[in-house]
Amino acid sequence: MSTRCVRAYVTGKVQGVWYRRATQEQALKRGITGYARNLPDGRVEVFICGQSSAIAELSEWLWQGPEGARVTHVTVEVLDHAHAPDHFATY
């Protein structure tokens, strides 16, 4: 199994609905490190590193999010030379 890192930008009603905290919970369940942070334009940026299968699962979950979220778009880019953090943070 290989480890990889990806960055996702999540668009929709994703701020003020516990999206970052729920993403952190989902990441920790899957052994994923990284962060989730609000952006000034209303999106949430999610940087995640872990096993490819876990990354795929979490990437799918990003389209759903927590109750109250209304995700309209998710863009994901694979980062070839990213440094994987040792924990998952929210900003």
DSSP 11-25: EEE-SSSSHHHHHHH
Res. 2 pLDDT band, cuts 50 70 90: confident
Active-site residue flag, 37: no
Active-site residue flag, 20: yes
CATH at residue 47:
3.30.70.100
Residue 35 lies inside a defined structural domain of this protein: yes
Residue 63 lies inside a defined structural domain of this protein: yes
| Mean pLDDT of all residues in 29-45 | 98
* Total tally of structural domains belonging to the chain: 1
Residue 42 lies inside a defined structural domain of this protein: yes
Residue 86 lies inside a defined structural domain of this protein: no
Catalytic residue among 20, 21, 37, 70: 20
pLDDT tens track for 66-90: 999 999 999 999 999 888 899 999 9
| Mean pLDDT of all residues in 18-31 | 98
Q: How high is the pLDDT of residue 1?
A: 56
pTM for the model: 0.94
Q: Which domain holds residue 73?
A: 19-80
Per the prediction, the chain carries an average pLDDT of: 96
Q: Where are the alpha helices (DSSP H) in 1-91?
A: 19-29, 52-62
